[in-house]
Amino acid sequence: MAEEKTIQEHEIGLSAEDIAKEFKEHSVAEFFKKNMQMLGLTGKIKTLTTIIHEYVTNSLDACEEAKILPDIEVQIKELGEEYYEITVKDNGPGLTKETVGKALGKLLAGTKFHRMMQMRGQQGIGAAGCTMLSQITTGKATSVITGTSKGKPFSAEITIDPKKNEPKLDNISELDKEFHGTIIRAKFKGVKYVNSEQAPMEYLRRTAVANPHAQITLIEPSGQKIIFKRTLKEVPARPVEMKPHPRGVAIDDLITLAKYSDTRKVSSFLKNSFDRVGDKALEELAKGISFDMNKDPRQLGWDEAEEIIKQFKKITFIAPRTDGLIPVGEERIQKSLQSIVNPEFLNVVTRKPSVYSGGFPFQIEVGIAYGGDAGRVAEANEEGVSQRKIEIMRFANRAPLLFDTGGCAITKAVQSIDWKRYGMKDFENAPLTIFVNLISVHIPYTSAGKQAISDEDEIMEELRLALMDTGRRIYTFIGRQRRLAEKEAKRKMFYKYATEVAYAVSELTGKTKKDIEQKLHSIVLKHLKLEEQKEKEMDQKSEMSEEEIEKEYEKRKAREKKDSEKKQKKKGISGGDE
């Protein structure tokens, strides 16, 4: 009978009151504990590289904010099979007793998420996620030693209470020695150290490329020490906090900002909360809205916010401020790529700042290196000669992106370019290194793992324009190299036959062979110089300004749109016939 009753209850189902008993709240730490892959902590190799990435980016950000030339040491010790101890030491400003627990033991806590400021980290998840991973794979706490410019350095052990998303500090003790910076030591199981294109070694190599002011040391499990020496002794300018630009802001963003504004008028709120909104812009805005600009911004309704956004799109605003965006710099990228890949041709392009959805300013840097040691070494061919393939170095705020390549806007932009137009018939097998760095106060990552950039329309457009610009310049170089080779072949051929012709003419005319040969050589040289002059004129004509490149891009977009509409129309007619 009891069994029959249970079956009947199962068939009837639970009531709303029964379901309500199971309703529980969960902390963000509990969520990520069950979804560690969302933090990029999945796969044995990827997890180890991601751990290094989280610690190193935090060290670089901290050093730069404190105007300290970063000196970072990463040590990886093998403790057993797929069991490693990671130690990362920096010379940064250190952490206080009040912040060390939150920085390393509380998810979504930190100095970055709430500020519109260009930094490598964003969410305040990474380092705390590593602490949790260490805890759930080894049962051990993460050790930290830190010292600031004030007070004595101290050591502590940190764990996380996932239920509460709160840090727990044990064995706190002050140290009787001088130390300025932070040392983090944690143990992890289920990870693996290898030398590959997605391993810690390659991650740190690329970090050194984009951060020539940093000195980074790696001590591998074998004990081998690799030092990436700094090539510049200047700390990059400290980026300033920025306001969202009105060109890309959404209605919900506007209402949310207005709700928490301290100002009493909509006009004051807009002027204080957004970049490039001055008196002139406010005058234009007032002409196109139906409500009083003296209204309390906290009383702003959806329809009124929508009016403001529509009017924003009609106003020509000044481009976003540039002092909040700190690019690596063309000269620095050139020096880094020159020292690492030693190419035959090198060109760097920096686009003007732009804005993507949400009002976030961003900027694109692209470096292209061809020949020499550019590209990545592939398998040797049948003759035993090593082949080189294209290498795409992706960066976001100077931090390398090694994983989720296919889903990244940078990869998609590179693949969208018709490289044959730029002299590269076999693009995939070209000795080519493409360096792309996206800088912004907010990088639109596709996940909390921060390994791929979302393909926002505005970002894709700027990426394509920068790549097309570098493509045109490399086309000029490749064409020039081809013409030089052809000219040298012509010169050798002319000189070869000049000797024979001089001999024959000498026999016929009785004049000395040497004089005839010298005259023939001078004719050849004159002819080659004329060809060289024509080539220079052609190169000058082929050089395009930034405005011309953008016009060409707009024309191409219009053609692609027209072709797409034709295909859709044709498809519609075809479907109707069926």
Clarify whether residues 461 and 483 are in a common domain. Answer: no
DSSP E strands, 109-255:
142-147, 154-161, 166-174, 181-189, 215-219, 225-228
192 occurs within a structural domain? yes
Clarify whether residues 202 and 57 are in a common domain. Answer: yes
The H or E element containing residue 574 is helix 546-577
pLDDT value of position 246: 85
Cα distance between the two ends of the chain:
61
Clarify whether residues 47 and 164 are in a common domain. Answer: yes
pLDDT value of position 32: 56
Structure-token match 């493409």, residue found = 434
Band (pLDDT 50/70/90 cuts) for residue 16 is confident
> Would you say residue 145 has pLDDT above 90?
yes
133 occurs within a structural domain? yes
Q: What would the pLDDT profile of 329-388 be if each residue is shown by its tens digit?
A: 898 898 888 888 888 889 999 998 888 875 678 999 999 998 888 888 776 555 555 678
Domain range for 514? 477-558
Percent of the chain whose predicted confidence (pLDDT) is above 70: 75
Clarify whether residues 300 and 336 are in a common domain. Answer: no
Structure-token match 């009017």, residue found = 311
Structure-token match 């398998």, residue found = 379
pLDDT value of position 71: 96
Question: Domain holding 301: CATH number?
Answer: 1.10.8
137 occurs within a structural domain? yes
Amino acid at 137: T
201 occurs within a structural domain? yes
> Would you say residue 87 has pLDDT above 60?
yes
Clarify whether residues 205 and 89 are in a common domain. Answer: yes
Mean pLDDT for the chain?
81
pLDDT value of position 222: 95
510 occurs within a structural domain? yes
> Would you say residue 459 has pLDDT above 80?
yes
Question: Domain holding 355: CATH number?
Answer: 3.30.230.10
Band (pLDDT 50/70/90 cuts) for residue 74 is very high
Question: Domain holding 153: CATH number?
Answer: 3.30.565.10
Mean pLDDT of the region 507-511: 73
pLDDT value of position 578: 38
> Would you say residue 102 has pLDDT above 90?
no
Clarify whether residues 496 and 451 are in a common domain. Answer: no
101 occurs within a structural domain? yes
pLDDT value of position 112: 45
> Would you say residue 394 has pLDDT above 70?
yes
pLDDT value of position 479: 65
Clarify whether residues 448 and 501 are in a common domain. Answer: no
Q: Which residues make beta-bridge pairs with 158? A: 142, 169
pLDDT value of position 27: 60
Band (pLDDT 50/70/90 cuts) for residue 1 is low
- Cβ–Cβ < 8 Å for 215, 71: yes
**How far is residue 545's CA from residue 139's CA, in Å, rounded to a whole number?**
60
Clarify whether residues 416 and 548 are in a common domain. Answer: no
Q: What would the pLDDT profile of 26-36 be if each residue is shown by its tens digit?
A: 565 666 556 66
User: Phi and psi at residue 45, in whole multiples of 5°?
Assistant: -75, -45
> Would you say residue 306 has pLDDT above 80?
yes
Q: Which of 169, 197, 228 is the last residue of a domain?
A: 228
- Closest alpha carbon to 64 in 209, 217, 203, 211: 211
Clarify whether residues 222 and 263 are in a common domain. Answer: no
Domain total in the chain: 4
Mean pLDDT of the region 221-246: 86
492 occurs within a structural domain? yes
Amino acid at 234: E
Band (pLDDT 50/70/90 cuts) for residue 474 is confident
Name the 3-class secondary structure at 61. Answer: helix
Clarify whether residues 290 and 308 are in a common domain. Answer: yes
pLDDT value of position 253: 84
Band (pLDDT 50/70/90 cuts) for residue 128 is confident
Higher-pLDDT residue of 42 and 551 is: 42
Mean pLDDT of the region 162-177: 88
Higher-pLDDT residue of 61 and 19 is: 61
Clarify whether residues 440 and 505 are in a common domain. Answer: no
Clarify whether residues 439 and 520 are in a common domain. Answer: no
**How far is residue 376's CA from residue 365's CA, in Å, rounded to a whole number?**
21
Sign of the Cα torsion 117, 118, 123, 127 reads negative
237 occurs within a structural domain? no
